[in-house]
Every structure is written in C-alpha cells, then in structure tokens.
C-alpha cells in the first residue's frame, strides 16, 4: 500500500473555553476552515470544550477524517477530541487523579477534569496504533521548586504508565497534546524515561544551537515554540513573554511496540514543524494562544542500522525511569503531601471557628436591639455557613483525596525503584 507509508498528524490547543476565551466563534470558525483544507491523517485538539464547536470541526473534516471522538470528563469536560482517517477499534479516557484544587476557580483545572484520552486505530500497515491526546495540569511553571508542579508530575507519571502499557501489549504509540512543560523539566523527563517515548521535534531538529536564534520567527521554526511567543497576539503583551522566544509546550511523541522476536515495520518521524501561526484572516488576533504542531511519520521496513531510530526485534530490556528522576519526583510529591496536610489542618480550624461563630450568631439574635439589623445578621450567617461548608469540603474531602493520590504515586515510585534494584541484581548474577 504505497499511499499508506506516511502518516501526518496535528496537535492544537484551541483555547476554547466558552465565555472566557476571547473572539472564540471567529477563531473556531477559522480552525474548522483550516483543518477542512488540510491533509492530516490524525488531528488531536485540546481545549475544545463546547460540543457545538467539536461538531462544527467534525462536519468540516468528515470527508477526509470520518472517524472522530469527543471525550467527556469532570464537570465541564476534558476539552479533548481526536479525528482520524483510520477506523477506531476502541477508545477510553483516563482522568488524572490530581488536577488542582476546587478553590482555584479561575484556573478551572479541577472542574474540567484533565485527562489522557486515547483511541486505538487500525492502520493498514502498522496494525493497531494507540493514539493519545492529553492536556497536563498547567500551574507550577518551569523553575521549581518541584512541589509547585506536583500535580503535573502525577499527571506525567500516570500518562507515562498508560503509554508504556500500550506498547507492552504490542501496539504502536502516537501521543499528542499540550504537556504544559518544556523539554528539560522533570515531568517530561518522567515521560521520556518511563514511557520510552521519542520526541518527534528532537528527532527531526537535532543539534540546534539556541545561541544562534536571533528572532521570534526563527525560534518558532528551529526551536518548535508553540506557546507564549511574541508573535502570538494573545501572549505578545505578557510580561513573561517579553524578551523571550516563548516555550515549547506541545509535543508529538511516539514509540514502537514491544513485540520481542517479531520483525515489524518502523515508524519514524521525518518532519516536524509549527503551523497555524498566521492570524485570523482580516483580524488582528491569532487563531489560538498556542500554535499548532504537525509531524510527518514514515513507515519503513525494519532497519539493521544500530544508529537509526528503531527498535530491534530481539528481546530487549525496556528503558526505565532513572533512580535520580524517581528520587526527585518522590521528594517533590512528599513536599506537596506535607503542604497539603498542613493546608487541610488550617482549613479545618477555619471550619471549627465558623461553627463557633454560627453558634454565637444564633444566640445573639435574641438580643438584637433593632429590627433593621436582622437582614445583616442573615447575610452574615449565610456567608459564614458557606465558608464553613467550603472549608469542610476543601480541608477534609479534597485534602484527604489529594494526600491519598500523592501517597499512591509515592509508593508506586518507591516500589518501582526497589523492583529495578531487584531486577538489576538478578541480571548481574
């Protein structure tokens, strides 16, 4: 099948939250138009939370990409969708166990329920390919300390396990999305090491010297900048974007299946570029606050070149999370665990204080000197009751939820480290 020897994919964060994202209808219309006139085989969209917007894109691309899935998660949806030229044989979504706090309403991560969505497609040459689309927790930055991005580390570990499991059951893996992390940070290190995923941009743009970059356009073309670029109208005015070329937060990752003893076709990235960088036609604003990232894969017969981007068919020990990375992750999660316990304790103290205030208000109403004070007491009582309920939920329910999720990952990493020590000891015997 000569026409099936290449796969073109696209990932794009659409910035599509209703009532919050600016010029949303015009931007979604432009996105739908651009995708309808493209020749991608797979498209992964993030932050497409409005189902009507998904339907608009679906109708426009259906002629080339007849198979699609909109994923549901949390209270407002995961904002994830996948469009494919190849038929689906299964689909699932894995909501991450930690996505910020309920009190952080402005960020909204807890309410949308960020997740790892995936479909298994049937490719005429590769067979089963598991395609992931994800959007990791945003807050935490890149400079640390690591516990500030502990939720994103939990996301990264859970995603890495899913991608690794997909390869271990014999499927090719293509993972697309907004990982909210630059390549050198710990969350990406966890994903690269434990899932053994290859970065298509790094494969197709080796040995780029950042010191040679002299313009924002050159940074986009050579460094793969997709977010916070000075050339993006939505980030050009941000203080942290001034004087920088932006960040590479969007990725196309991939790996071969783990089928020891079998001769398999090789999936390899041969071209990767940032796209959808132009503004909406006739308007002064960009299509989204992220640029799109496209990658082209070539499918070839198995190569014997040891330096090529391949997996030999002989049995091979899978790549593992390094002891240093595991220790750093455990340290960050442990620090976050302590912080969470202390925060929960303070919130429960506030809850107890609110109860005392409510008792005092109830008793005090018997001695109100004037009737006009009564409405003020009612409003004050409602506020204190709301605060008490919120602190009880945040301090007890979410506090224990967060601590349990952190402890699960900490113990998983500890067991994984000890397990590797046992396996390494056996291999030396």
In this predicted model, what pLDDT tens digit does every residue of 328-353 receive, in sequence order?
A: 999 999 999 999 999 999 999 999 99
pLDDT digit string, tens, across residues 26-83: 999 999 999 999 999 999 999 999 999 999 999 999 999 999 999 998 888 889 999 9
CA distance 375 to 149: 44
User: 426 or 50: whose pLDDT is higher?
Assistant: 50
The closest of 213, 162, 186 to 330, measured between CA atoms, is: 186
- CA angle, 415 then 419 then 421, to 5°: 120
Question: What sign does the dihedral 201-207-208-210 (CA atoms) show?
Answer: positive
Full set of structural domains in the chain with CATH: 6-300 (3.60.10.10), 323-426 (no CATH)
Residue 79, pLDDT score: 93
Taking the whole predicted model, whether its pTM rises above 0.85 is answered as yes
Residue 261, pLDDT score: 82
Average pLDDT of every residue of the chain: 88
Residue 1: other Cβ atoms inside 10 A: 8
Residue 347, pLDDT score: 93
pLDDT band at 131 (very low <50, low <70, confident <90, very high): very high
Mapped onto helix, strand or coil, the DSSP state of residue 14 is coil
Residue 313, pLDDT score: 43
Residue 318, pLDDT score: 63
Average pLDDT over residues 131-152: 83
Q: For the chain, what is the radius of gyration of the CA atoms?
A: 25
How do strand 198-199 and strand 127-135 relate by DSSP bridges?
A: unpaired
Checking if the pLDDT of 368 tops 70, the result is no
Residue 244, pLDDT score: 78
Question: What percent of the chain has a predicted confidence (pLDDT) above 90?
Answer: 67
Residue 421, pLDDT score: 84
pLDDT band at 307 (very low <50, low <70, confident <90, very high): very low
How do strand 250-255 and strand 266-275 relate by DSSP bridges?
A: unpaired
Residue 311, pLDDT score: 46
Average pLDDT over residues 282-288: 95
CA distance 334 to 403: 10
């Amino acid at each position: 099948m000569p026409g099936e020897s290449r796969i073109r994919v696209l990932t794009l964060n659409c910035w599509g939250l209703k009532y919050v994202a600016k010029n949303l209808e015009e931007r979604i219309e432009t996105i739908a138009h651009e995708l309808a006139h493209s020749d991608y085989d797979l498209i992964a969209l993030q932050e497409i939370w409005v189902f009507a917007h998904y339907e608009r894109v679906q109708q426009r691309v259906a002629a080339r990409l007849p198979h699609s899935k909109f994923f549901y998660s949390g209270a407002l949806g995961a904002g994830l969708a996948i469009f494919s030229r190849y038929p689906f044989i299964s689909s699932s979504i894995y909501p991450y166990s930690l996505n910020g706090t309920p009190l952080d309403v402005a960020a909204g991560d807890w309410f949308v329920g960020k997740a790892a969505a995936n479909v298994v497609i049937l490719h005429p040459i590769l067979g089963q390919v598991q395609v992931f689309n994800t959007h990791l927790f945003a807050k935490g930055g890149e400079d640390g300390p690591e516990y500030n991005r502990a939720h994103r580390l939990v996301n990264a570990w859970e995603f890495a396990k899913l991608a690794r499991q997909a390869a271990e059951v014999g499927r090719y893996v293509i993972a697309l999305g907004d990982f909210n992390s630059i390549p050198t940070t710990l969350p990406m290190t966890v994903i690269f090491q434990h899932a053994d995923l290859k970065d298509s941009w790094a494969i197709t743009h080796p040995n780029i010297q950042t010191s040679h970059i002299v313009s924002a356009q050159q940074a986009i073309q050579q460094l793969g900048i997709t977010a916070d670029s000075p050339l993006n109208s939505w980030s050009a005015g941000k203080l942290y974007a001034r004087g920088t070329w932006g960040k590479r937060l969007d990725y196309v990752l991939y790996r071969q299946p783990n089928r020891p003893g079998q001769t398999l076709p090789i999936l390899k990235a041969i071209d990767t570029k940032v796209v959808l960088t132009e503004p909406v036609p006739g308007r002064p604003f960009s299509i989204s606050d992220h640029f799109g990232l496209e990658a082209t894969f070539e499918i070839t017969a198995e190569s014997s070149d040891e330096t090529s981007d391949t997996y030999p068919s002989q049995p091979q020990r899978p790549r593992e999370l390094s002891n240093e990375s595991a220790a750093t992750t455990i340290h960050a999660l442990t620090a976050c665990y302590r912080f969470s316990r202390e925060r929960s304790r303070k919130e429960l103290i506030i809850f107890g204080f609110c109860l005392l205030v409510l008792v005092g208000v109830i008793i005090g109403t018997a001695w109100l000197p004037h009737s006009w004070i009564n409405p003020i007491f009612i409003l004050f009582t409602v506020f204190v009751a709301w605060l008490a309920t919120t602190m009880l939920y945040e301090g007890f329910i979410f506090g224990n939820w967060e601590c349990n999720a952190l402890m699960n990952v900490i113990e998983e990493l500890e067991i994984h480290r000890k397990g590797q020590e046992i396996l390494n000891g056996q291999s030396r015997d």
